[in-house]
Structure 1
Amino acid sequence: MNDIKKAIYAATLNILRPLIKILLRNHVPFGAFADLAKRVYVDVALEEFGIPGRKPSISRVSILTGLTRKEVGRIKKPPVLENAETLERYNRGARVISGWVRDRAFWNKEGQPLDLLIEGKDGSFNELVKRYGGDVPSRAVLDELLRAGAVERLADGRVRLITHVFIPYTKEADKIRILGTDVRDLICTIDHNLHSNPSDSFLQRKVSYDNLPTEALPELRGQATQKSQSLLEELDRLMARHDRDLNPSARGTGRKRATIGIFYFEEDSQPHD
């Protein structure tokens, strides 16, 4: 086995361990995982490794994947498992909060998000949803934000924004669905950087130490949250200026999707030998 394959196998084991932990915790047996893996092998072989100008064949996919022609034929059209409704709820809630934070029409004199009346033409929650939430009743958006803990109802009936972060997944299933989006984006970033020129690589940075005292972590965690949130809000304002859904006057060609993500992780560290 050459060094590249050894590195790939080791990396795959590291990736699979936390994923398998999630699968076992949710009673997903190996057979179901193996079937999913086969489906993805076939899907990727068809979409990413075809020969230009030639129709993909079952025989070629069989050679690429190591699966039998019979298996390839059986799973050539894998089912769509993505939950579009959940992702749309996330995007809608994030857009509404982003508009509330960055749009001066919904600020107070100090430049902070206003406590909004539900109804009204100027500076109301209904107007906010109409501007940033798409064709969805404002009541439905409010209920979603309340469930997520992003807003609260005041005694006078107004709505107050209590966090600039929208995490709508109060149900375990919703939290797991976003796993497929965030982890995918990180792996795709690494894949891009593995085969692209250095001048075309995507941002991929981290800091990591493995001999920190437990007492240092609360400060580290707090600083990471505060500084990262501030940076993300600044970048959100920049991206929103160029997003043609939020800013129809933005000029340019093509249609691109860009993501900037930050995470914090900690665990017990094993001493070095």
Structure 2
Amino acid sequence: MATRSAIVLNAVLRLLKPVAALLLRNGVAYPAFVAALKTVFLEAAREELQRTGQKQTDSAVSLLSGVHRRDVRTLARVEVPDEAADEPLNLAGQVVGRWLSDPVYVDDEGQPRPLPRYGDAPSFDALVTATSRDIRARAILAELERLGMAKLEEGTVRLLEPGFVPREGFDEGMALLRDNLHDHIAAAALNVSGEQNFLEQSVYVDQLTAESAQHLHALSTRIWRQAFRTVMREAQVRFDEDQAKAPADQRVHRARFGAYFYAEKNDEQDS
């Protein structure tokens, strides 16, 4: 009978296959990945020691992570990437989220309105101001245009994409991939350990034709858009209320709701 460790390892190896493909397609081979992976194990080991109330000594971190003590000391001096670098992307996402969900900025069919560049609501300036007073509308517009998501024509700003998926900007696309998959895996891992009961479900069906798979993709996309508007609208209401009524030390939680669809030819049935 397989041990618990072996079961977990086999599951993780399975989910890492598309990650390995992504790395290889972008010039990251096994040695570079393994070297960088040490920092991930060290960070996870420190968090686990903190969670269980143990001291985060080099010996304890080394014992738990399996990383040599010399590397523990060396890698502790490695600078962690500044998450503030994602701030322009995050603000642009918040603006798009309000544009897609706030009744002021959508039409009767729930689609984002073309907005006058200036003026009172509904305008692009008013949209940005309603989201944040810390950044100018001009900067957000430039970012959305750079990402291929919005366009200014004859004084009107139009949203070109139905959701926040940049058509341009490799860095931004990878940031979204990183954050979405991190939270999805985190939810599943906490569920399987019994620590949480997050929503994390899917529907699976096989032995389909390509036409049926495409039909299900189109159906899933329509359902996602409906769910997105509902959840995003409520999220915007809760965000605005918390900003207005709750003290800063209570506004320390974040949430992510997502959906995905994947289909491929099942080669195993050809053998």
TM-score, structure 1 normalization: 0.86
Q: In the alignment, which residue of structure 2 is the partner of 1:182? A: 180
Give the counterpart of 1:225 among 216, 221, 225.
Answer: 221
Any conservation in 2 of the 1:125–1:159 contact (CA below 8 Å)? Answer: yes
The residue correspondences of 1:210-249 to structure 2 (distance < 5 A) are 210-244=206-240, 248-249=243-244
Match of 1:114 in 2: 113
Question: Structure 1 residues 43 and 9, CA, compared in 2 at 3 Å: closer, same or farther?
Answer: same
Distance 2:231 2:53 in 1: 41
Matched, 1:262 2:221: no
Residue 105 of structure 1 contacts residue 123 of structure 1 at CA under 8 Å; is this kept in 2? yes
Residue of 187, 191, 199 corresponding to 2:189:
191
Given that 2:45 and 2:64 are in contact with CA atoms closer than 8 Å, whether structure 1 keeps it comes out as yes
- For 1:119, give the aligned amino acid: Y
* 8 A Cα contact 1:193 1:201, kept in partner: yes
1:133 shift after superposition = 4.1
User: Could you tell me whether the CA contact under 8 Å between 2:42 and 2:65 is conserved in 1?
Assistant: yes
Unaligned runs of 5+ in 2: none
| Cα distance in 2 between the residues matched to 1:242 and 1:82 | 28
Paired with 1:52 and 1:144, the residues of 2 have a C-alpha distance of 43
The 1:62–1:225 alpha-carbon spacing in structure 2 relative to 1, beyond 3 Å, is same
User: Cα distance 1:79–1:2, how it changes in 2: closer, same or farther (>3 A)?
Assistant: farther
Alignment of 1:104-143 (within 5 A): 104-107=103-106, 113-143=112-142
**Contact 1:129/1:138 (8 A) holds in 2:** yes
Q: CA 1:263–1:66 in 2, change beyond 3 Å: closer, same or farther?
A: same
Unaligned residue ranges in structure 1 (runs of 5+): none
Q: Give the CA deviation at 1:223.
A: 0.9
What is the Cα deviation at residue 54 of structure 1? Answer: 5.5
Partners of 1:193 and 1:122 in 2: CA distance: 43
Partners of 1:110 and 1:210 in 2: CA distance: 34
Of residues 179-188 and 45-54 in structure 1, the stretch that sits farther from structure 2 once superposed is 45-54
Instruction: Report Cα offsets for 1:61-108 as digits up to 9, x if no partner.
Output: 1211222221211112443135533x3233212221232233344355
What is residue 209 of structure 1 aligned with on the other side? 205
Write out aligned runs for 1:7-26 (5 A). Answer: 7-26=7-26
Q: For residue 258 of structure 1, what is the amino acid of its counterpart? A: A
C-alpha change, 1:8 and 1:54, in structure 2 (3 Å) is closer
Amino acid at match of 1:141: I
| CA pair 256-168 structure 1, distance change in 2 beyond 3 A | same
User: 2:102 & 2:51 partners in 1: Cα distance?
Assistant: 48
Instruction: Report if aligned partners of 2:148, 2:168 keep a CA contact under 8 Å in 1.
Output: no
Amino acid at match of 1:222: A
Closer/same/farther in 2, CA of residues 45 and 91 from structure 1, 3 Å limit: same
SS of 2:243's equivalent? coil
Shift of 1:163: 3.5
Return the TM-score normalized by structure 2.
0.86
Contact 1:126 1:138 in 2 (8 A): yes
CA contact (8 A) 1:43 1:76 kept: no
Moved over 6 A (4+): none
Q: Which amino acid aligns with 1:217?
A: A
Worse overlay, 167-176 or 227-236:
167-176
Equivalent pairs counted in the alignment come to 268
1:119 deviates by 1.5
Cα distance in 1 between the residues matched to 2:162 and 2:173:
18
Deviation at 1:109, TM superposition (A): 7.0
Does structure 1 retain, via aligned residues, the 8 Å contact 2:116–2:157?
yes
Deviations 1:170-218 (A, max 9, x none): 1223322322211111111011102226xx4101100112211012122
CA contact (8 A) 1:93 1:141 kept: yes
Change (3 A) 1:98 1:208: same
